[in-house]
């Protein structure tokens, strides 16, 4: 039986951010958060971080005298972005905008997003799960503290904050469960 070869149409219909494996994982992490306010928080983090990454890459490319382009395929996909509005994130305006921000990045930018935000969103996903299980509202200050610490100081430091909030046993239990779901 011959292997399926992708047609031009199938390649063009592929989501731009799927080219970097860590980006769909970011969205899966957000989707796994039961509280809309935590999903929105993550969407805002993604938007702000994407803008920062895009500006840094553009500035670097200007200094290096390189042409700044995300390419023909990305432009086509960006042009069509939001036409169908059938995905889960299309129903939440901030998340729709966040996914749109991914389309403004080149492959290098997408890689940076996945690398820097993957662990941060993983910690926030654990926080969301704990809040949901304990039927407690999420504390925006704590979420901001976890995200800021993860992005500025590192994942280990942010993990310590989360462990102090939820306890080591619960963290270990949920961290193990969430990591195995992603595999």
d(CA 99, CA 35): 18
d(CA 117, CA 61): 23
Task: Please indicate whether residue 176 or residue 150 has the higher confidence score (pLDDT).
Answer: 150
pLDDT at residue number 77: 55
d(CA 62, CA 107): 17
**Domain map of the chain by residue range?**
8-182
Per-residue exposure over 29-49, b if at least 16 CB sit within 10 Å of its own CB, e if not: bbebbeeeebbbbbbebbbeb
For range 29-56, the mean pLDDT: 95
Residues 6+ apart with CB under 8 A from 135: none
Among 10-24, 68-82, 151-165, name the one with the lowest average pLDDT: 68-82
Average pLDDT, the chain: 82
pLDDT at residue number 182: 46
pLDDT at residue number 175: 67
Whether the pTM exceeds 0.85: the reply is: no
Among 29-33, 105-109, 135-139, 146-150, name the one with the lowest average pLDDT: 105-109
pLDDT digits (tens, 9 = 90+) for 77-109: 555 555 566 788 888 999 999 999 998 898 899
């Amino acid at each position: 039986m011959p292997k399926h070869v992708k047609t031009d149409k199938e390649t063009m219909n592929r989501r731009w951010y799927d080219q970097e494996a860590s980006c769909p994982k970011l969205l899966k992490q957000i989707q796994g958060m039961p509280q809309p306010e935590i999903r929105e928080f993550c969407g805002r983090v993604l938007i702000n971080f994407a803008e920062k990454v895009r500006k840094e890459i553009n500035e670097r490319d200007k200094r290096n005298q390189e042409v700044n382009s995300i390419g023909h395929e990305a432009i086509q996909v960006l042009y069509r972005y939001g036409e169908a509005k059938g995905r889960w994130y299309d129903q939440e305006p901030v998340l729709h905008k966040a996914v749109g921000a991914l389309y403004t990045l080149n492959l290098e930018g997408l890689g940076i997003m996945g690398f820097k935000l993957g662990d941060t969103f993983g910690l926030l996903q654990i926080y969301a799960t704990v809040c949901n299980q304990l039927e407690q509202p999420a504390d925006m200050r704590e979420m901001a503290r976890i995200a800021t610490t993860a992005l500025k100081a590192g994942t280990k430091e942010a993990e310590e904050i989360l462990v102090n909030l939820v306890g080591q046993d619960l963290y270990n239990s949920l961290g193990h469960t969430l990591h195995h779901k992603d595999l």
